[in-house]
Structures are given as structure tokens and as C-alpha cells.
Amino acid sequence: MISRSLARALRDAGVRWTPHDGDRFALDADGLDEQVFTVSEMTIEEHHYETGSVLGFNGTTEWALDSVALEDALWLPAEHQLRDLLGGTFRSLTRGDAADDTPRWTVDVALPEGPRSFSAEEPADAYAEALLTLVLAAAA
């Protein structure tokens, strides 16, 4: 799962989310800093209204939250979702080790200005860095 800071950067750069079963998200609210939620028809599902979309918490008795506006949810995309968003720019994902033997994952992409590589300790973060660069380049 990508870091929340990368998820915020993707959202702020313009990456939009249409919730689907299995998607993970977080809420930026006191007391919920470490909570990760999963969209599921059984417990959390998207509801559409004229005023906007909300994520409804169905049957949750642990705490009093009925729904949250979609724009207040922070999508935490999975590796496959990030790879899909990279589309035809994605070239490869490889694993290597840093000098201290820490595993590093590298995503290679073909951007308009040429090939680029993005490395991180987690594959999802490498994908997210590549996507963020692609989105920011497209907006410029």
C-alpha cells in the first residue's frame, strides 16, 4: 500500500478515484490516523446523490459514522491500479538491493521526455512516484 503522503500528492495532482469493491482508503480525521478502510458491498459502498457521492458505512456498530463525502476519503491505490493508470508508459518492475542490502523496487516508464526510473522500498511507492511524475508532466 502506498504512503499517505504519496496518496495525497496523487490526489492533489488530479488523480481521481471511482470506488470499486476491494479499494482501500483512509480518512484524515482525529483518531482515525492509522485506520484503513476497504470498500465492500457488505460494509462500505458508494452512494450517489444530486449533491455528490458519499461512502456509506453499512452495519458498522463499532463507532458512529454513517457516511463520508467521497472527497474526504483518501484513496490508497494498490500496485495493479497504479500500473493500470501508468498505461502504455509502463515498461518494467525490477527488484534489486541497495548498498545496505535493503530491497529496492524500480519501475521503468517511458515518459514524453524520455525513459525514467523510479525506485522505492515498496513496489507501490515506486509506481506512485512514476504516476505522480507522469500526471505532473501532463499538467505542465
Give the structural domain span for 47: 18-75
C-alpha cell at 70: 467521497
pLDDT at 58: 61
The model carries a pTM of 0.79
- Number of folded domains in the chain? 2
Checking if the pLDDT of 136 tops 90, the result is yes
- Flag whether pLDDT at 64 surpasses 60: no
Residue that terminates a domain, selected from 75, 96, 120: 75
Q: Are residues 94 and 124 in the same domain?
A: yes
Strands (E), 22-132: 24-27, 37-38, 44-49, 52-57, 67-69, 73-75, 90-97, 103-111, 114-120
Residue 56, phi then psi, degrees to nearest 5: -90, 135
Q: Is residue 59 part of a domain?
A: yes
What digits encode the pLDDT tens for the residues 100-131? 778 899 999 998 889 999 999 999 999 999 99
> Count of alpha carbons within 13 Å of 42, Cβ hemisphere only?
2
Whether 45 is in a domain gets the answer yes
Are 84 and 67 within one domain? no
Q: Give me 118's grid cell.
A: 523510479
CA distance 129 to 140: 17
Q: Which cell is 69 given?
A: 463525502
Give the model confidence (pLDDT) of 9-56 as tens digits. 999 999 999 888 889 999 877 677 788 888 776 666 677 778 887 777
pLDDT of residue 67: 64
